[in-house]
Structure 1
Amino acid sequence: MRRLLHPTLILGTITLVSVVVMALLAQRLFPGDPMDMVAVPFTWPGADETVPLGSDLMGRDLLAGIFHGARVSLLVGASAAIIALTIGVTVGALSGFYGGAADAALGRITEFFQTIPAFLLAVILVAIMRPSIGTIILALGISSWTGVARLVRAEFLTLKEREFVRASEALGASDLHLIVSEILPNALTPILASTGILVAQAILSEAGLSFLGLGDPNLVSWGSMIGIGRDALRTGWYMSAIPGAAIMLTVVALNFLSDGLHAALSPRSSLRNA
């Protein structure tokens, strides 16, 4: 229990929970369309109490955009991470467990995807499939699984030689049982720790895609808010700075959460605290 009180884990959890609460309350606090023009354009933060964080070039409420943007950013981050984890864990588990020809073939596929920069691959996929929330999630998931695959492969190569796995194998356990019930649960620590990094990378990548004009035009995200505000960086820098700060805080929180989980769940940490 004491390991769960790691400072970075606590700080990351509190910040991330705050962002999740913002996303959950977005529709209740700001029931209208966040893309509606509700104020005078270029209203600076604090100048109008009806729009506390000011308005953008078109008079849209930045505070409403931040709350609704949290929903989109978290949805993209979590969904893309799930896709990346599914592909990465499957490829890494099969590669590490079977070895030989399977390992070589899956290794070549992983290396092929690694030769293409993840963000560039995402840009190509979104451009081909046309920008939408679904294609963005799919593109980010497909482009970010290779690190997880290599991590899981390394864990499986080590764990499959352990005594408890050999004992289950001697008792006639199937390959599926060995992979899912014996090895995978013991490889969860690094997988869980990497999940926060995957979500953070997906949020940053979505922001980059939206900044380039490849975001979903029907939804407000933090990245699209930055993209809109770039046309007024000199005269209204707050339009980009506010959503940029939201992205920064969320990504830092996810990194803290990942580091805290690794420190709390690591066997070495357990031995030090014993």
Structure 2
Amino acid sequence: MVIDPAIVMIAKRGTGKSWITRDIVYHYRHIPGGAVIAPTDKMNSFYKFFFPDIYIHYEIKPEVLSKILARQQIMIDKSKEKKKKGIKVDPSGILIMDDCLSQKKTWAKDQNITEILMNGRHFRLTYVLTMQTPLGITPDLRLNFDYVFLLKEDSHINKKKLYENYASMFPSLPYFEKIFTECTKDFSSMVIDNRKPTDTIQEKVFWFKAKDRSFTFGSKGFVGIHKKYYDPAFLRKRVAEQLHDNSRLFGGKKKNDVEVRIEKI
């Protein structure tokens, strides 16, 4: 794959999405730093086995996206300054947004996302977006991905959407469905390379199957910050605080509430 690509993966649950995402991160493990935004990871804790916890977010916030872009700009400027002194600094970064469609209203029209897709290469940012539905994002965003990973899909309606919106290089829907079915067997994936200016299927469409990887993403400094500042008990402490403060869970007593006491006789 090319340097600093934008990658979209369309996969419903149970099709191997997590493994393929991990393999993509493994491929770019040389990148010094990055961030993961994965709402479901709060419960299944998939990413923490290869991505430092302190950089994993469970909800999308505009300030997180803007900080990521700001970090990239700072690192690019730093790289240019160090280069003058003969010192090489890698300014690249990675952003993974995994199953974030439930929070789409928060980010779909965010200027930072547009900036990432339109100018990600200039920011030296690799961007990976995974979603369960073919039309989870608008057409203008769909057109800006370098690579499209399509995983197993049983629904004929969704296959048609995949064909019409991502795989129009195939001469017909039945032809696409036949190749797609073969490519996505056994948790594998069809990969479409949008960087190649050709309609030749053999040069544009590929098959990919993830391998089991054991690694930790990020530079020594990136991992070191995690080890120094991350509190593994943070979530447990926060839940304990919420349980202790009943007003957070049940809303407490409002100003105008009338308290009624009934005593037993």
TM-score bracket for this pair, using the shorter chain length: under 0.3
Query: Greater share of helix residues, 1 or 2?
Result: 1
TM-score, normalised relative to structure 1? 0.23
TM-score, normalised relative to structure 2? 0.24
